[in-house]
Amino acid sequence: MSGRRIARIRVVTIATDTRTTRPDAVAVEEPLELRVAGSAYTTTMRTPGHDIELAHGLLAAESIIRSAEDVATMRYCAGSVEGENTYNVLDVQLRPGLAVPADRRRHSLTSSACGVCGTASIELLRGRPDFDLDSDATRVTASVISTLPDALRAAQPAFESTGGLHAAGLFTVDGRLLVAREDVGRHNAVDKVVGWALLNGRRPASGTILMVSGRTSFELAQKAVLAGIPILAGISAPSSLAVDVAREFGLTLAGFVRAGRMNVYARDDRITVGSES
């Protein structure tokens, strides 16, 4: 986060409006250029921190890598500022014999608003899942899922200061937090979590729940499927494409998760209630 001086205006009535100035924390957004074997792959707008996890998660989401062993080295390179390492350029060397497939080469800018999405990506997804989520027997109580928004909120120190970051957290079925990450981009926060799971031998991440702080888009459902995460839950609404992906690939998808209620759009059999527990 970074500090900025802002004007704070309080409107009460025309006669009593006030203006004050004070320092305020602002969420940091900077570009991270990802190179593979020295060649530009993509640039994503992200909140600095946990970049190694972010790169692993992004490459796993695009099926470039499937395990931590697929990455030989990963290091920061000199950036655009002459003579200075800005820590905004990351070069990945894949293990011998592994290269970026021609159909997955990218040189585009990914904004913090979204990653890679669209119906073309759904077609690619159909040929890429490494795990059969339909056969995943994970079950969790509705009461546990209803506690996850507050648990994730408690693990967001940067949001507490800035109010401008998304978060994603990976939980066990008994509600224990394994890892939480924040970022200006929802997809980046999830990539950081998936990268953590990959680096810690949790791919597939069976028996876990991915909780996200906002809406659940297609790309988040895609990342959950490719990571072998059986349950995706969000505080807000899912998109229609996210629901389609969840139903096709056996992902449990819950939205509008609040204390005591939620909507379940796919594979509701994994969420037990009352005596079913």
* Binding-site sequence positions: 256-261
Number of H helices, E strands in the chain: 7, 15
What are 147's two structure tokens? 């506690």
Residues 55, 74: contact at Cβ < 8 Å? yes
Catalytic residue (one of 28, 40, 52, 114): 114
CA distance 96 to 81: 31
Point out which residues pair with 172 in neighbouring strands: 208
Helix (H) or strand (E) holding 4: strand 2-10
- Our answer to whether residue 77 is catalytic in this structure is no
What are 265's two structure tokens? 């759009």
Q: Supply the angle between the helices 218-227 and 119-126 in degrees, to the nearest 10.
A: 10
Compute how many other C-beta atoms are within 10 angstroms of the C-beta atom of residue 242: 27
User: Any idea which residues carry the catalytic annotation?
Assistant: 114
